Amino acid sequence: MTELKEVLLEATKEAGRIILQYFDGVFKIDHKEGINNLVTEVDKLAETRIIEVIRAAYPRHSIISEEIGELMKPSDYKWIIDPIDGTVNFAHGVPICCVSIGLMHEGNLILGAVYNPMMNELFFAEKGKGATLNGNPIKVSSNNNFKTAFMVTGFPYNWSEYTEHPIKVFERIVLEGLPVRRLGSAAIDLCWVACGRFDGFWEFNLKPWDCAAGYLIVEEAGGRVTTFSGKEYDVFDKETLATNGLIHEDMIKVINRR
Ligand code: IPD
Ligand code: CA
Ligand code: CA
């Protein structure tokens, strides 16, 4: 595991270096499917470097990465990469964005790293060994009073695909009187639940690269991650609910209230 961890951290820091180098500078911006779904040349530069680092050490491992897609090999190991999570923030010079890399072995997440180079915050978790922020152990919050919970969420780019509009769920939470933030990076949202800044996070339609690392980091920090109905979470699920565990059932009730 030590070598896998070293490669993960090297790839994460290399991408962080590239992100920081271009942050608030000049770079090309393209649009993906939707007009507000952006990709910059920095996403691609960071992704290329991450894959180079992984491939140099593990040429036979599978990789899924947001911009390049799937590079599948007959391997038990799968790297799940978001070269920049929070690209819209990045494109506007908002320092809430990060690189996020998770590693699966035989379908289970075993390592995860999320690094925001602008804040110099590196979140890391290894299955069964806890979660850290810049090397110091982190834990989810201890707030068990749902009425005072501090929440964070995000909205999908593809609103129209939903029969139950995410805004309805947003409304239910806001009408509970809870303070809710929208940062623009799901990986950071998850990590900020893991280190206790927020008590909970929910979002529809996240992709595996948004959540893989952050999911493990929340769980290893003592939190709970499920779908909106409370089913055990899988990074391919379309609903993500992550909390400190103590307010989880209350969140499920409110999200599903009709
Ligand atoms: C996005 C961010 C955002 C979330 C979107 C994601 P990207 O990822 O995580 O917070 O609301 O659903 O797609 O496009 O910046 O990598
Ligand atoms: Ca993302
Ligand atoms: Ca991205």
Residues 132, 187 within the same domain:
no
Query: Between helices 186-194 and 208-220, what is the axis angle to 10°?
Result: 0
pTM for the structure as a whole: 0.96
Which of 115, 137, 159 delimits the end of a domain? 137
**Residue 164 confidence (pLDDT):** 66
Q: Which residues surround ligand 2, an ion (CB under 5 A)?
A: 82, 85, 210
Residues 175, 111 within the same domain:
no
Report the nearest atom of ligand 1 relative to the CA of 90. 15
* DSSP tag of 247: T
Residue 228 in this model has a pLDDT that exceeds 90 = yes
Residues 121, 227 within the same domain:
no
Within 13 Å and on the Cβ side, how many CA atoms surround 54? 25
Quick one: tokens of 93?
């010079």
Question: Domain limits at 132?
Answer: 2-137
The CA–CA distances, whole Å, from 236 to 32, 134, 220 equal 21, 28, 19
CATH number, domain of 128, equals: 3.30.540.10
Residue 57 in this model has a pLDDT that exceeds 70 = yes
Which of 79, 104, 137 delimits the end of a domain? 137
Give the number of domains in the chain: 2
**Residue 242 confidence (pLDDT):** 98
| pLDDT tens track for 172-226 | 999 999 999 999 999 999 999 999 999 999 999 999 999 999 999 999 999 999 9
Residues 184, 102 within the same domain:
no
Residue 35: partners with Cβ closer than 8 Å, 6 or more residues away: none
What's the 145 CA to ligand 2 centre distance in angstroms?
30
CATH number, domain of 212, equals: 3.40.190.80
The CA distance from 3 to 12, in Å, is 14
**Residue 3 confidence (pLDDT):** 96
Residues 177, 214 within the same domain:
yes
